[in-house]
Amino acid sequence: MSFTSNYALATREFRDNTATAYGFLETFAGLGHVLGPLIGGSLYQLGGFGLSFFVSAPLTIITATVAFFTLPTEKDEQELSSDYGQLIKLAKIPAIPLEHLAVWVGYIGLSALSPTLGGHYESVDSSVQGNHIMIGLAFALCGIFYTCSVFLFGYITDKSNHYKLMIITGLVVTALSFTFIGPWEPLTDLFPNNKGTAWGVILGNCLSGIGCACINVAVLADCVNEAVSHGLPDNIVTYGNLSAIFDTSMGLGSFIGPFIGAAIVEHNPFSTLSAVLTGLCLGEAGLLVLYCAIVFAVFKRRQYKSGYRSIDGNNATYSDTNDAKGTLLLPPIPYPAIQKQYVQSE
C-alpha cells in the first residue's frame, strides 16, 4: 500500500518531472534493499531475533505519523469518486500492458537468480566456495548499482522524453547481464570450464541493476502520459491505478521468478536459465520495437491521408501529433510549434 501511495503522490506533486521523482523514490527503496540485510543481521547478532522488529516497528509508526501530518492534500481531489472501470480502460491501451510486461520480465530475471546464483558462482570459481561474504557481495551488487543509477536515469528520461527508447535500452542491458552471468550455449564453449567466469557474474549483476533502473522509471513515467493522452483524467485516481499495476507486475515477477529459476536449474545447466532469461528480455524489447514500428506506419499513413503537408487545420491536433511523436521514441513537440506548423491561422 505504501509503495502504491508513494508513486501516486509523487506523480501528483511532480507532474512535470515524474521520472525524476520516481528515481528519487526508487533510490531510497534500493537503499532499503541493500542496507536492510546488513542492519537486520547486525541487530540479530546484538539482541537476537526480536530486536530488529522492536527497532523497525517504532520507526514505522513514527514515519507514518509524520507523513500523516506533512503530506499535502487537496480538497478537490478528496471528493473524487473511484473509477472502478478504469483498470479495464488502462488495459485496453496497448502501450501500458506492453511496458508493464517489461517490468514483469525484469523482475522474473532478478528473482530467478535468488535460488540459483550462489551455486553457479561457486561452480565457476572454486575460490568462493564457502565464502559467504563474496557470494553476498555478488547479490548486493545488483541493488547497489540500481540504487546509484536509478535517479540518474530518471533525470535523463525527463530531459530527453525518450521513454520507450529507455525501456528498450534497459531490456537490452538486462539481457546482456544474464548473458554475462551464465553464458548460454554455444557461448559456454568460449570458457575453459564451459560454465563462465567470476568476473562475468560480477559484471552481469552490475548490469542487471542498471538495466532494471532504466526500465522502471521510464515505465512509470510513460504510462502516465499514455493514459492521459488516451483521454483518462489527469488526477490521482489514474496515478493510483497505474501505481497499483506497476506494483502488481513487480510482485508477480518476484513471485514467479524463483519457481522458474529453480525448476530450470534442477534439470538443466545454469546456461539454460541464462538463455531463457535473455530470450524473455530480447523478446519483450522486440515487441516494443514492433509496436513502435506499427504506430509509426499508421501515423505516417494518416498523416499522408489527412494532408498535413497542405496545412489542413481541421486534421492536425496537438494530441494526435504529440502522441505519435512520443510513440516514435521522439520528444514531444511543444504546442506552439504544432500550431504554427500544422494549423492554418484564421
Handedness of CA 204, 143, 15, 159 (dihedral sign): negative
Out of 61-70, 149-158, 159-168, 321-330, least confident range: 321-330
Domain spans of the chain, in order of start: 19-34+87-296, 307-342
Identity at 88, one-letter amino acid code = I
Q: At 143, is the secondary structure helix, strand, or coil?
A: helix
User: What is the C-alpha separation between 270 and 182, in angstroms, rounded?
Assistant: 6
Buried b (16+ CB within 10 A) or exposed e, 26-50: bbebbeeebeeeeeeeebeeeeeee
DSSP codes of every residue in 168-179 = HHHHHHHHHHHH
- Return the closest-CA partner of residue 223 out of 27, 88, 91, 30: 91
DSSP label at residue 231: T
User: What is the C-alpha separation between 165 and 162, in angstroms, rounded?
Assistant: 5
Q: Residue 207 — very low, low, confident or very high, per pLDDT cuts 50/70/90?
A: very high
Q: Are 156 and 320 in contact (CB under 8 A)?
A: no
281-319 tens-digit pLDDT: 999 999 999 998 888 888 777 776 665 444 444 444 444
Q: What is the rounded end-to-end Cα distance, in angstroms, of the chain?
A: 52
CATH topology of domain 19-34+87-296: Growth Hormone; Chain: A; (1.20.1250)
User: What is the C-alpha separation between 210 and 207, in angstroms, rounded?
Assistant: 5
334-346 tens-digit pLDDT: 333 333 333 333 3
Percent of the chain with pLDDT strictly greater than 70: 81
pTM above 0.85, yes or no: no
User: What is the C-alpha separation between 166 and 333, in angstroms, rounded?
Assistant: 19
All three cell numbers of 24, joined, read: 528519487
Mean pLDDT of 239-244: 87
Q: What is the pLDDT of residue 339?
A: 36
